[in-house]
């Protein structure tokens, strides 16, 4: 489809045919058409020429690398404390028994000042540097997200092209930032390679949009509408964009949130991914945008607040289709 012509390696070595790679330097009309089509067909696309400075990404990567290299005894000092999911986690995902072959750190994106400064002191030797790296990274990916959402609204011919972006620009937006670290295979030359295992199990993201950046270690897979798993390869300079459950609702099901998972034990090197989950404020009402309900079609989802949706997500298992609980009968 929109395979970038700039990287023959990508097409040759890795990329499954059809996965959209969208060049953000294209003109707005072409771009909006590509983005709408990608959201409709896959709920997923990759972006190149996105304008996020490489230094911002590498500074962030160095900061988290420093954190994950610390001894476990240091990392658990910022362990997530249920019911708050924020902080460091190892293997456990959510609160209902899901596990994966990873360790991670989950932070609030919009109110870093409210994240305990203890977290930052332990997270980095030089806490100010860590905070600065996170702030700059989040600022850059948030701008990218808002730009994409504006073009998306334009492509959908919505009268208010800020209808999506406004939700994440809200001062109380509940967006969050996560870094996942999937350790590589420990190479024991006389041992057979261990089988691939689940790094992060199948799920859709509850929010509006997710912006992912990872190193070049494979593992990410997305599911097509027909349930076929497609491996996604990434260049460290690209970003991947995922449609989340809230965008599915806002578009009255025209876009479907994409189910995805990460396989672990794919390489001797470890996989590191960073995700910005763009979310509305907790008290924001979510319902299909009236212009997305064409005459003669049904409203597919009920109205709910983001807080209600989030609570439902944390009361269910990772793989559950939580959006089904919010469908009209
Ligand atoms: C998936 C997307 C984000 O990583 C996340 C995850 C959250 C968590 O790990 O704490 C959830 C998961 C995610 C969806 C269902 C619930 C909540 C684990 C879980 C079992 C931070 C999010 O917002 O939802």
Q: Is the CB of 34 under 6 A from ligand 1?
A: no
How far apart are alpha carbons 146 and 154 in whole angstroms?
12
How far apart are alpha carbons 245 and 313 in whole angstroms?
11
pLDDT above 90 for 292: yes
Q: Give the CA radius of gyration of the chain.
A: 19
Instruction: Give residues with Cβ within 8 angstroms of 282, minimum separation 6.
Output: 172, 174, 305, 306, 307, 310
Q: Which of 178, 213, 259, 271 is catalytic?
A: 271
Going by C-alpha positions, the residue among 5, 20, 1 that lies closest to residue 239 is 20
Q: Which pLDDT value is given to residue 42? A: 97
Q: What is the DSSP letter of 10?
A: I
Q: How far is the CA of 178 from the centre of ligand 1 (A)?
A: 10
pLDDT band at 43 (very low <50, low <70, confident <90, very high): very high
Q: Which pLDDT value is given to residue 2? A: 39
Q: Is the CB of 85 under 6 A from ligand 1?
A: yes
Q: How far is the CA of 91 from the centre of ligand 1 (A)?
A: 13
Ligand 1 atom with minimal separation from the 210 CA: 2
Q: Which pLDDT value is given to residue 120? A: 63
How far apart are alpha carbons 158 and 155 in whole angstroms?
8
Is the Cβ–Cβ distance between 277 and 174 less than 8 Å?
Answer: no
pLDDT above 90 for 60: yes
Please report, for residues 124, 169, 194, 270, the alpha-carbon distance to residue 190 in angstroms, rounded to integers and kept in the order given: 37, 54, 12, 21
Q: Which pLDDT value is given to residue 124? A: 64
Closest CA to ligand 1's atom 17: 314
Q: How far is the CA of 206 from the centre of ligand 1 (A)?
A: 7
User: Torsions phi, psi of 35, nearest 5?
Assistant: -70, -45
Q: Which pLDDT value is given to residue 121? A: 61
How far apart are alpha carbons 287 and 122 in whole angstroms?
40
Q: How far is the CA of 97 from the centre of ligand 1 (A)?
A: 12
Q: How far is the CA of 5 from the centre of ligand 1 (A)?
A: 35
Q: Which pLDDT value is given to residue 188? A: 65
pLDDT digits (tens, 9 = 90+) for 19-33: 999 999 999 999 999
Pocket test for ligand 1, best of 88, 94, 212 (most atoms within 8 A of CB): 94
Mean pLDDT of the 70-96 span = 92
Mean pLDDT of the 60-73 span = 93
Q: Is the CB of 183 under 6 A from ligand 1?
A: no
Within 13 A of 327's CA, how many CA atoms are on the CB side?
Answer: 9
pLDDT above 50 for 306: yes
Per the prediction, the chain carries an average pLDDT of 90
Q: How far is the CA of 94 from the centre of ligand 1 (A)?
A: 6
Can you read off the two tokens belonging to residue 54? Answer: 């490489």
Q: What percent of the chain has pLDDT over 90?
A: 77
Q: What is the ipTM for the molecules in this complex?
A: 0.99
Pocket test for ligand 1, best of 314, 321, 325 (most atoms within 8 A of CB): 314
Q: Is the CB of 200 under 6 A from ligand 1?
A: no
Closest CA to ligand 1's atom 18: 94
269 in active site: no
pLDDT digits (tens, 9 = 90+) for 213-252: 999 999 999 999 999 999 999 899 999 999 999 999 999 9
How far apart are alpha carbons 185 and 47 in whole angstroms?
29
Ligand 1 atom with minimal separation from the 89 CA: 9
How far apart are alpha carbons 22 and 271 in whole angstroms?
24
Q: Report helix, strand or coil for 224.
A: coil
pLDDT above 70 for 118: no
pLDDT above 60 for 1: no
Q: Is the CB of 178 under 6 A from ligand 1?
A: yes
Q: Which pLDDT value is given to residue 21? A: 96
Going by C-alpha positions, the residue among 197, 233, 242, 241 that lies closest to residue 215 is 233
Pocket test for ligand 1, best of 79, 313, 322 (most atoms within 8 A of CB): 313
How far apart are alpha carbons 91 and 74 in whole angstroms?
16
pLDDT above 70 for 6: no
């Amino acid at each position: 489809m929109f395979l970038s012509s700039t990287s023959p390696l990508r097409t040759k070595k890795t990329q499954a045919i059809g996965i959209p790679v969208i060049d953000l330097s294209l003109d707005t009309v072409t771009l909006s058409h590509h983005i709408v089509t990608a959201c409709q067909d896959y709920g997923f696309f990759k972006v190149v020429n996105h304008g996020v400075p490489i230094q911002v990404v590498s500074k962030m990567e160095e900061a988290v690398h420093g954190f994950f290299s610390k001894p476990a005894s240091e990392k658990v000092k910022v362990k997530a404390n249920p019911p708050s999911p924020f902080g460091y986690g190892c293997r456990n995902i959510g609160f209902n028994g899901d596990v994966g072959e990873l360790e991670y750190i989950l932070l609030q994106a919009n109110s870093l000042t409210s994240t305990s400064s203890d977290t930052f002191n332990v997270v980095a030797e030089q806490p100010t540097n860590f905070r600065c790296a996170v702030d700059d990274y989040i600022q850059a990916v948030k701008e990218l997200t808002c730009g994409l959402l504006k073009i998306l609204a334009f492509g959908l011919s919505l009268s208010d092209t800020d209808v999506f972006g406004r939700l994440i620009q809200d001062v109380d937006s509940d967006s969050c930032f996560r870094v996942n670290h999937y350790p590589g295979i420990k190479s024991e030359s006389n041992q057979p390679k261990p089988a691939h295992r689940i790094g992060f199990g199948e799920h859709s993201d509850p929010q509006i949009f997710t912006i992912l950046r990872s190193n070049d270690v494979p593992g990410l897979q997305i599911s097509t509408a027909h349930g076929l798993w497609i491996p996604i390869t990434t260049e460290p300079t690209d970003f991947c964009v995922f449609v989340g459950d809230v965008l599915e609702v806002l578009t009255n099901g025209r876009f479907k949130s994409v189910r995805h998972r990460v396989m672990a034990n794919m390489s001797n090197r470890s996989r590191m991914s960073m995700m910005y989950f763009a979310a509305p404020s907790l008290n924001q009402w979510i319902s299909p945008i009236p212009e997305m309900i064409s005459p003669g079609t049904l409203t597919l989802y009920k109205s709910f607040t983001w807080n209600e949706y989030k609570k439902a997500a944390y009361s269910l298992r990772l793989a559950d289709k939580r959006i089904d609980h919010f469908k009209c009968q």
